[in-house]
Structure 1
Amino acid sequence: MNFDDQLRRYFGSDKLDSVPPSAIEAGIERMRVDFGLETDRGRRFALWSLLFLLGAAPDLDAFDDPADRDAARDFMDMMDKDR
């Protein structure tokens, strides 16, 4: 799942600064629904990662597999180091 494709799918643009706040909220809600329904681990992680970047990611408990929780923790640490 390509990052720009995700942005276009959920927000109608790959430029978030041009998306109205109400459309961002609606896109985040659709992403949360898709995250809950997604069965492919890679796609779930991609959705979670974008939700995390938007400040809307579910808790790590949303991942059943400990390896996925560890990967999410690593992603969080990596993003924290860049700040």
Structure 2
Amino acid sequence: MDLDLLLQTYFGTPEPETLDDAEIKAGIERVTMALAIEGDPGRRFALWVLLYALDEAPPAAKVFKDPEQLRAAEEYERTASRLEDDD
């Protein structure tokens, strides 16, 4: 999924820095709802990553029941954490 498209779809703009706190909260709620009902594994992962980037992701173990998908999410968390530590 394209990040700009995700931002446009759930936040109404591809430029989240232009949003106020209420608009961001509403967008996060929309992404969270979409994650809860999305059936496609790739789209679920993209939605979860977006929430992770916003520091709003639920634990990977609650989202991904498939062991392969869970491993991918956990690896994403480890990699993102290492990148944050390097900054």
Q: Place the TM-score, normalised by the shorter chain, in its bin.
A: over 0.9
Please, which runs of 5 or more residues in structure 2 have no aligned partner?
none
CA–CA distance in 1 between the matches of 2:33 and 2:19? 20
CA–CA distance in 2 between the matches of 1:34 and 1:76? 21
1:13-44 Cα distance to aligned partner (Å, 9 max, x none): 11111111101101111111110100000000
Identity %: 37
Superposed displacement of residue 80, structure 1: 1.1
Aligned length: 83
Partner of 2:13: 13
CA–CA distance in 2 between the matches of 1:35 and 1:53? 14
Stretch deviating more after TM superposition (54-63 or 41-50): 54-63
1:22 match: secondary structure: helix
Superposed CA RMSD: 0.8
Partner of 2:73: 72
What amino acid sits opposite 2:77 in the alignment? M
TM-score (normalizing by structure 2): 0.90
Q: Report 1:2-81 matches (<5 A).
A: 2-61=2-61, 62-81=63-82
TM-score (normalizing by structure 1): 0.94
